[in-house]
């Protein structure tokens, strides 16, 4: 998702490879054989320890430093005495690596990281009885498969959203209706080639975007789930991505770099998040977004607690705070995401009563939410596991 760093793309490539190498090892070692994790969860809330350390997507935990209107940390610190310390991470693989290293209490993990963290025994079961507002969460998310395992809760839902097709409205006077404009070389409506004017996401999970497109355009492949691909289906997705490599100007995971590219570098179209689109619109840029006919991948993020959390009482206080309607609505307005507490969709001045709808509230059923690919994908099928996705996507980025 989502990072504030404005470092250049080339400077980020080596760190990504280091994180990816760790992710390969972790995925191969655990194989997502989910079992019981750590000791029993906290049974009674005690006094706060004075701090809580969180790994989060940038933009997810704001204290008004970027925009004074968006601050859901200061009030929490005053009420609880728990100082919030945030370490931002730009990819799910980076989050998994940081949680493996330890030293954090909480992480805002997407579905392509959460099951790995559970399988790797890096997070603990959460006692939702100590989170009084848990019952107010959207019922579709309370026991979602990416955080509720074997009858146990391993986190508290935070926000969700989808990966939209963002486009320049001066290039596309009519909204594009297919992802093909970023996958295949072609002339765009302005008469110019899309080569060097499109972007793709800088993360192995993007293989699922290619698979989702192929599910609709090549039904003979028999793809039913973009995260459960057999060897033939997986090869087809990689072939499409290698073809796309020839036209991609940049592989992005830094939201603010992408914002700059749409503003200054002639970018015509890309997979993106509502966050970038909202920021660009607020700056008067000619940008809009659409969910194409093939559907979209998406992310549903869960705040999870490290198995060795040193500040569990403050962590539980944050879990409760994280789902209050004011925070949920403000964050939705800031990030372009959807609250997990639906009451947040009304009466929030920053979000507006159409904000949730604009951010994709009614698209839930069309979204293929990020999930970690595993070898044993059910029905007697063997699928390509995530560690292969990591190594093969690095090869695609390198032009191999």
Is 70 exceeded by the pLDDT of residue 348? yes
pLDDT band (50, 70, 90) for residue 322? very high
| pLDDT value for 27 | 44
Q: Which of 36-40, 65-69, 170-174, 272-276 has the lowest mean pLDDT?
A: 36-40
What are the pLDDT digits (tens) for 165-217?
A: 999 999 999 999 999 999 999 999 999 999 999 999 998 999 999 999 999 99
Pure H helices in the chain: 9-30, 74-80, 92-101, 111-119, 139-142, 180-183, 207-217, 231-245, 255-264, 274-282, 312-321, 325-335, 355-358, 386-397
Do 392 and 258 share a structural domain? yes
| pLDDT value for 336 | 87
What are the pLDDT digits (tens) for 245-301?
A: 999 999 998 888 999 999 999 999 999 988 899 889 989 999 999 999 999 999 999
DSSP conformational letter for 193:
B
Do 305 and 288 share a structural domain? no
Do 98 and 55 share a structural domain? yes
| pLDDT value for 39 | 62
DSSP conformational letter for 323:
T
CA distance 378 to 373: 12
Number of other CB atoms surrounding residue 158 within 10 Å: 29
Do 386 and 242 share a structural domain? yes
Do 261 and 175 share a structural domain? yes
Is 70 exceeded by the pLDDT of residue 359? yes
pLDDT > 70 in the chain, percent: 90
Do 176 and 272 share a structural domain? yes
What are the pLDDT digits (tens) for 137-149?
A: 999 999 999 999 9
Please state whether the predicted TM-score (pTM) of the whole model is above 0.95: no
| pLDDT value for 94 | 93
Of the candidates 95, 115, 15, 24, which has an alpha carbon nearest to the alpha carbon of residue 391? 24
| Token couple for 139 | 């019922």
| pLDDT value for 187 | 98
* CA 177 vs CA 79, 210, 342, 345: distances in Å: 48, 16, 29, 28
pLDDT band (50, 70, 90) for residue 55? very high
**Under 8 Å between Cβ of 315 and 127:** no
Q: What is the CATH number of the domain that holds 321?
A: 3.40.190.10
Q: Is 326 within the bounds of a domain? A: yes
Q: What average pLDDT is seen over the chain?
A: 90
| pLDDT value for 279 | 86
| pLDDT value for 254 | 85
| Token couple for 341 | 């507490």
| pLDDT value for 366 | 86
- Report the number of distinct structural domains present in the chain: 2
Range(s) of the domain holding residue 114: 9-160+300-352
Number of other CB atoms surrounding residue 389 within 10 Å: 28
Do 208 and 168 share a structural domain? yes
Q: Which of 53-57, 294-298, 310-314, 362-366 has the lowest mean pLDDT?
A: 362-366
Q: Is 39 within the bounds of a domain? A: yes
């Amino acid at each position: 998702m989502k990072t504030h760093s404005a470092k250049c793309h080339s400077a980020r490539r080596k760190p990504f490879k280091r994180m990816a190498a760790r992710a390969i090892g972790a995925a191969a070692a655990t194989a997502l054989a989910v079992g019981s994790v750590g000791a029993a969860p906290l049974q009674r809330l005690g006094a706060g320890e004075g701090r809580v350390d969180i790994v989060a997507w940038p933009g997810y935990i704001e204290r008004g430093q970027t925009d004074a209107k968006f601050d859901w940390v200061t009030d929490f610190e005053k009420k609880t005495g728990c100082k919030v310390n945030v370490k931002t991470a730009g990819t799910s693989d980076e989050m998994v690596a940081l949680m493996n290293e330890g030293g954090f209490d909480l992480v805002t993990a997407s579905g392509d990281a959460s099951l790995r963290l559970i399988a790797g025994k890096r997070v603990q079961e959460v006692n939702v009885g100590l989170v009084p507002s848990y019952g107010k969460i959207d019922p579709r998310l309370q026991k979602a498969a990416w955080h509720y395992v074997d009858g146990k809760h391993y986190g508290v839902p935070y926000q969700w959203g989808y990966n939209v097709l963002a486009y320049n409205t001066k290039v596309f006077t009519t909204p594009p209706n297919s992802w093909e404009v970023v996958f295949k070389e072609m002339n765009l409506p302005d008469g110019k080639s899309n080569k060097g004017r499109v972007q793709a996401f800088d993360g192995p999970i993007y293989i699922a975007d290619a698979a989702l497109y192929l599910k609709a355009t090549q039904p003979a492949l028999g793809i039913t789930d973009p995260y459960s691909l057999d060897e033939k289906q997986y090869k087809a997705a990689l072939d499409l991505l290698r073809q796309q490599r020839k036209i991609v100007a940049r592989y992005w995971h830094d939201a603010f770099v992408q914002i700059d590219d749409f503003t200054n570098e002639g970018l015509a179209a890309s997979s993106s998040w509502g966050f970038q689109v909202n920021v660009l619109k607020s700056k008067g840029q000619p940008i809009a977004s659409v969910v194409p006919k093939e559907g979209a991948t998406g992310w549903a993020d869960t705040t999870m607690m490290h198995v060795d959390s040193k500040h569990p009482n403050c962590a539980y206080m944050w879990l409760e705070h994280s789902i209050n309607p004011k925070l949920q609505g403000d964050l939705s307005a800031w990030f372009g995401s959807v609250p997990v507490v639906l009451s947040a969709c009304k009466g929030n001045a920053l979000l507006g009563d159409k904000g949730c709808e604009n951010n994709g509230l009614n698209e839930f059923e069309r979204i293929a939410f990020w999930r970690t690919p595993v070898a044993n994908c059910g029905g007697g099928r063997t699928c390509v596991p995530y560690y292969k996705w990591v190594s093969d996507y690095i090869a695609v980025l390198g032009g191999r």
